[in-house]
Amino acid sequence: MSAPLCLAPIRGITDATFRETFASYFPDFDLAMAPFLTTYQGNRVKPARLKELLPENNQRLPVIPQILGKDPDHFIVLAQLLIDLGYTTINWNLGCPYPMVANKMRGSGLLPYPEKIEAFLEKIHCLPAKISIKTRIGRKDKEEIFELLPIFNRFPLAEVIIHPRTGLQMYDGRVDLDTFERCLDHCHHPVMYNGDIVDADFFRTVAKRFPTVSGWMIGRGALANPFLCAQIKERELPTEPIATLAAFHDEIFLRYQELLNGPSHLLGRMKGLWFYLAHSFQGSNKLLKKIQKTKNITRYKELTRQIFSEAAWNPGGES
C-alpha cells in the first residue's frame, strides 16, 4: 500500500496539540490537514490565530493548512501568512456542511455557484503556493460536482479531496462510491478519497476499487480507533493496546490542562475526544453517557482510570 494516509481536519479535536500527541503514540498517519482557519476582512492578522500552524507546534507530521472563505482577497492575505511560515500547499475548504457556514455561501454552500468558484480560483492563482481543494460532491445534489470538475481541471491544483456526500446530507446515509468513481474519471488532478473509513475491511474495499487515488483521508474512524492506520498498514499492534490508549489519553490531558483556561474547558475538550474514542470500548454508549455527565476533574480522572483498567477494547464492535 503506497498512497499516503492523511489525518482529516476535525475542528475542535485535531488541533496542533492533538496532532502532535496522537502522532507520538500512533505514528501511522503520513500527513495531516489542519482544521480550517477562517478568512476575515482587513489585512491585520492577530498572531494568536496562526499559533496552531507555527512550525514549532507541528513537528511530528507534515501538515497542510486549510482556509475557509469566499472572498479571494481575504484568502490571499491569510494564505500569504501561511506561505511565510513555510507552507507550500494551502487547502481551500469547499466541504463544510454546517448551515452556519454553508448558508453564508462558504464551504459546501459555494458548490452551487460554479462561476463564483471559477472567479475565486482565477484570483488566488497568483499565490506562490500549490492549492488543493477539499469538497463534497454537491450542496444539494450529487451532480453539482460534474459542473465543478471541468473548472478545477482548468487550474493547476495540487489535489482534490472528495468526500462523496452532499453538504445537505451532513453525515447521513452511505458514502456514494459510484459518484466518487465517476469523479475519478472526470478529474485530471490527483484525487484523495475521504469518508467513512472506519475499519481495515472498508479500507481494503475502497483501496481495491480505487487503486489510482492519491491518498486516503481518515477522520472519525481514527479518532474512534487510533490503531486504525496501523491495522490498515498491517503493522503489529502493541500487546496491550489499552495501555497505549491510556498513555495517550493521560498525556493529552496534561497538555490541555497546561494550555486551556480552567476545568470546564479542559473537561469539554476531553469529552469531545471521548465522543469518538468511546466507540473503541465495549458498552460504549453507557460509557459515553457517564463521561458526558462528569462535572469535575477528580470524578473524570476516576472514571477514565476505571475505563482503562476494566473496559474491554473492542474497536468496530457493538455499542
Cell numbers for 319, please give them: 455499542
Determine if 295 is a binding residue for ligand FMN (CB under 6 A). Answer: no
Q: Would you give the DSSP letter of residue 316?
A: T
Q: Is residue 220 a contact residue for ligand FMN (CB under 6 A)?
A: yes
Could you give the string, one character per residue 130-159, with x where binding to ligand FMN holds by CB under 6 A and - elsewhere? Answer: ----x-------------------------
Q: Given the C-alpha cell 500500500, which residue does it identify?
A: 1
**Does residue 109 belong to the site contacting ligand FMN (CB under 6 A)?**
no
Q: Whole-number minimum distance, CB 298 to ligand FMN, in Å?
A: 28
Q: Which of 6, 15, 17, 35 binds ligand FMN (CB under 6 A)?
A: 35
- For residue 304, the tally of other CB atoms under 10 A from its CB is 19
Type of residue found at 297: I
Question: How far apart are alpha carbons 26 and 163 in whole angstroms?
Answer: 24
- Give the DSSP H or E segment for 137: strand 130-138
Stretch in the footprint of ligand FMN (CB under 6 A) among 18-26, 69-77, 193-201, 280-288: 193-201
Closer of 20 and 196 to ligand FMN (Cβ): 196
Burial code (b: 16+ CB inside 10 Å, e: under 16) for 212-250 equals ebbbbbbbbbbbbbbbbbbbbeeeeeeeebbebbbebbe
For the CB of residue 161, give the shortest distance to ligand FMN in the complex, in Å. Answer: 8
CA distance 215 to 203: 12
In a 3-state reduction of DSSP, which class is residue 194?
strand
Q: Does 8 bind ligand FMN (CB under 6 A)?
A: yes
296 — phi, psi (to 5°)?
-135, 160
- When the beta carbons of 230 and 242 are compared against ligand FMN, the nearer one is 230
66 binds ligand FMN (CB under 6 A): yes
Residue 70 engages ligand FMN in binding (rule: CB under 6 A)? no
Q: What is the rounded CA–CA span in Å between residue 256 and residue 244? A: 18
Task: With residue 192 as reference, give the H or E element that holds it.
Answer: strand 191-194
Residue among 11 and 305 whose Cβ is closer to ligand FMN: 11
Mark the segment that binds ligand FMN (CB under 6 A) among 6-14, 22-30, 152-160, 204-212. Answer: 6-14
- Residue whose C-beta lies closest to ligand FMN: 219
Span interacting with ligand FMN, options 24-32, 78-86, 108-116, 195-203, rule CB under 6 A: 195-203
Least distance CB 103 / ligand FMN (angstroms): 17
Report the DSSP beta bridge partners of residue 281.
313
Contact 95, 107 (CB under 8 A): yes
9 makes contact with ligand FMN (CB under 6 A) = yes
Is residue 197 within the footprint of ligand FMN (CB under 6 A)? yes
Question: Which residue lies nearer to ligand FMN by CB, 175 or 242?
Answer: 175
Q: How far is the CB of 191 from ligand FMN (least distance, A)?
A: 14
CB-based burial, 29-45: b 16+ in 10 Å, e otherwise:
bbebbbbbbebeeeeee
**Contacts with ligand FMN, residue ranges (CB under 6 A):** 8-12, 35-36, 66, 93, 95, 134, 163, 194-197, 218-221
